[in-house]
Structure 1
Amino acid sequence: MARQREFDEAKVIEIAVNLFWKKGYNAVSTQDMVEAFGISRSSMYSAYKSKRDIFILALLQYRNSSAKKMITTLNEGTSFKATIKKLLSQFIEETISDVDNKGCFIVNTAIELAAHDDEILEILREHRKDIISALTTAIEKGINSGEIVTEQHPKAIANYFYSFINGLRVDGKIYKDVNDYMKVVDIVVGVLDR
């Protein structure tokens, strides 16, 4: 008979998301996890094999919630231009108000670990594929409705927006001028009229 866990696993993973997001994988120690989770070392390691296993669960949790939120917004939008401006404005607001300069957990992980861990690389690639697919579908709807007039391929435009968002999340760790970012959004969205 399996032993019942003496802690809330969902809460531990939520805490792990914030811990790894703020500090990165390599900077988090076992002691950091024990203190943050409020459980004993033995309880932690009987529930999870390693720090890496906890990290992957945290990364998947973040990936699922952030991707779901963005995909839902894209699917529900009736105007791609309005929807992408709304999304970009939200990312800018999150970036500006991020006093810990955490950026994006997905982007941070890509920078820190993707080159050295095939399993993590695959998670990041799946995330990218899902977002690009949702962006492409929303752009195609905009083209079909006549809202977007462009000679560019919808997937190329989707890649463009995805790259801009990731760049914003990195730059936002060191620069916090909302006016400058909003001016760039106008330029970026202008690609839809070319």
Structure 2
Amino acid sequence: MPKTETFDRAQILHKATEVFHKKGYNGTSMQDLVDTTGLNRSSIYNSFGCKLQLYLEVLSDYQKKANHKFRKGLTSIYNATEQIQMIFELTLIDILEDDDRKGCLIVNCKSEMANHESLIKSFVEKNQDQMLAMLSDIVNKGQMEKIFNTEKTAGQYGLYLYTSIQGLRMTGILNKNENDLRNIIDTIIKVLH
């Protein structure tokens, strides 16, 4: 009979997220996870499987929280330009509040692990596909309403916006100047008009 977990899984995921976010996957040892979560190795293995499975659960939890923020913001805004601006505003807030300059866990994961581990590659590809679909849908709506130009397809602009968000996140690790970052965002959005 499987053992019942005697800990708060969400709290353990939060603690594991912190250490993975700070050190990356490869830089995080099992001992780091033991020290950070307060669980012993056997509890980690019994509850989460291996380190990779715990990392995937951390990534999934991180993604759900980010998607919830985006969806919550998007449901109250109907104008396509304002929706794109809101996505970039939430990204900017994340950058400015990242005092430790850790960057986005998923972007970091992509650069560290996507070419080395098939499960990670699959996760980041699915995440990318979801973001591309969301951004392309917003652009398509803006093009149909004649808010955005039609020089490129909605899919092409969706990919442009996606790579711009990732580039902004990387830039924000070193450059915390809000005016610089807002100028970048303004330039990105002007391309759509």
Pairing of 1:31-50 with structure 2 (within 5 A): 31-50=31-50
* 8 A contact 1:80–1:142 mirrored in 2: yes
* Corresponding residue of 2:140: 140
What SS does the aligned partner of 2:11 have? helix
Letter in 2 for 1:96: L
Letter in 1 for 2:191: V
* Corresponding residue of 1:111: 111
CA shift in 2, pair 1:191/1:88, >3 Å? same
CA shift in 2, pair 1:72/1:126, >3 Å? farther
Letter in 2 for 1:118: S
Q: Which runs of 5+ in 1 are unaligned?
A: none
Runs of 4+ with >6 A deviation: none
Once residues 172 and 93 of structure 1 are traced to their aligned partners in structure 2, the CA distance between those partners, rounded to angstroms, is 10
Q: Give the alignment's TM-score, normalised by structure 1.
A: 0.92
Q: Which runs of 5+ in 2 are unaligned?
A: none
CA shift in 2, pair 1:13/1:124, >3 Å? same
* 8 A contact 1:74–1:135 mirrored in 2: no
* 8 A contact 1:132–1:159 mirrored in 2: yes
What SS does the aligned partner of 1:146 have? coil
* Corresponding residue of 1:30: 30
- Matching of residue 21 in structure 1 with residue 21 in structure 2: yes
* Corresponding residue of 1:2: 2
* 8 A contact 1:67–1:127 mirrored in 2: no
> Cα distance, 1:43 vs. partner?
1.8
Question: How many residue pairs end up in the alignment?
Answer: 193
* Corresponding residue of 1:177: 177
* Corresponding residue of 1:162: 162
> Cα distance, 1:144 vs. partner?
1.4
Once residues 189 and 133 of structure 1 are traced to their aligned partners in structure 2, the CA distance between those partners, rounded to angstroms, is 18
* 8 A contact 1:74–1:138 mirrored in 2: no
* 8 A contact 2:83–2:138 mirrored in 1: no
Once residues 23 and 3 of structure 1 are traced to their aligned partners in structure 2, the CA distance between those partners, rounded to angstroms, is 30
Letter in 1 for 2:66: S
CA shift in 2, pair 1:89/1:95, >3 Å? same
> Cα distance, 1:75 vs. partner?
5.3
CA shift in 2, pair 1:76/1:125, >3 Å? farther
Once residues 188 and 42 of structure 1 are traced to their aligned partners in structure 2, the CA distance between those partners, rounded to angstroms, is 48
Q: Give the alignment's TM-score, normalised by structure 2.
A: 0.93
Once residues 71 and 152 of structure 1 are traced to their aligned partners in structure 2, the CA distance between those partners, rounded to angstroms, is 25
Q: Percent of pairs identical after alignment?
A: 29
What SS does the aligned partner of 1:64 have? helix
> Cα distance, 1:73 vs. partner?
3.4
